[in-house]
Amino acid sequence: MEPKERREQILEHAAFLFGKNGYHATSITNIIESAGIARGTFYLYFKNKRAVFEELLDALVIQINSKIKTVEMDPGAPSPREQLVDNIVGVLELLTKNRALLSILLERAVGLDQRSAKKLADFYEKISHTIDGSIQLGQQMGLVRSCNTKMASLAAIGVLKEVLHDMLRTPEDNQRLREVAGEVLDIFSRGVLIDGVSLP
């Protein structure tokens, strides 16, 4: 088999098992048995278990970032609400299609080794900063009410995480993704917007 394919194959099996049983409960033995390869073959492609995990995590972060587009204010562009819903739908879609990775993303720092934990923390930190910035911008534009923007951005992330976590438990239903995204955005936007203003 071509090295690239084999790599991919190992990553897929590992992702599935990490997602299903968690990082610690997944042994190298599990991975190689699942992939149907010899023990040594695994180490031909990855230095160790952590390397696999980190690679999955990195790829996931990149994919997620690629789904998030900056909201455009051009006259011809869709409404901001539309664009935000699109962003949320994009992420939800990616992650529900990829439950294994989602599970990885939701696994908190505890349980991972230092480096992976740091990576995950950095990822959330960056998202949090972005949202925080948007909220502050909203305040300057007179759209967002006076509030602790740090707290508000945490709230936004928390809501999304919990919804995703719930999706992990319940059967997939892609039909409703747009609806869910809308609900989530509504709750959050009403939560921070000035009375009487609604997301255009």
Partner DNA sequence: TATGAATGAGTCTTCATTCAT
Partner DNA sequence: TATGAATGAAGACTCATTCAT
Contact footprint for its own copies (CB under 8 A): 21-25, 103, 106-108, 110-111, 121, 147-148, 151-152, 154-155, 157-163, 165-166, 169, 179-180, 183-184, 186-192, 195-196
Contact of 155 with 86, CB cutoff 8 Å: no
Q: What gap in Å lies between CA 35 and CA 10, rounded to an integer?
A: 6
Of 28, 154, 163, 199, the residue at the interface with DNA (CB under 7 A) is: 28
Of 33, 44, 66, 111, the residue at the interface with DNA (CB under 7 A) is: 44
Which token pair is 139? 């305040």
Check binding of 37 to DNA (CB under 7 A).
yes
Check binding of 6 to DNA (CB under 7 A).
yes
Scanning 36-79, the segments in alpha helix (DSSP H) are 39-45, 49-67
Q: Nearer Cβ to DNA, position 5 or 74? A: 5
Residue 59 interaction partner, one of DNA, its own copies, none, beta carbon < 5-8 Å per kind: none
Residue 147 interaction partner, one of DNA, its own copies, none, beta carbon < 5-8 Å per kind: its own copies
Closest by Cα among 91, 49, 77 to 178: 91
Q: What gap in Å lies between CA 38 and CA 30, rounded to an integer?
A: 11
Residue 29 interaction partner, one of its own copies, DNA, none, beta carbon < 5-8 Å per kind: DNA
DSSP labels, 117-170: HHHHHHHHHHHHHHHHHHHHHHHHTT-BPS--HHHHHHHHHHHHHHHHHHHHHS
Of 12, 22, 41, 86, the residue at the interface with DNA (CB under 7 A) is: 41
Number of residues in contact with DNA under rule CB under 7 A: 18
Contacts to DNA by CB under 7 A:
1, 3, 6, 27-29, 37-44, 47-50
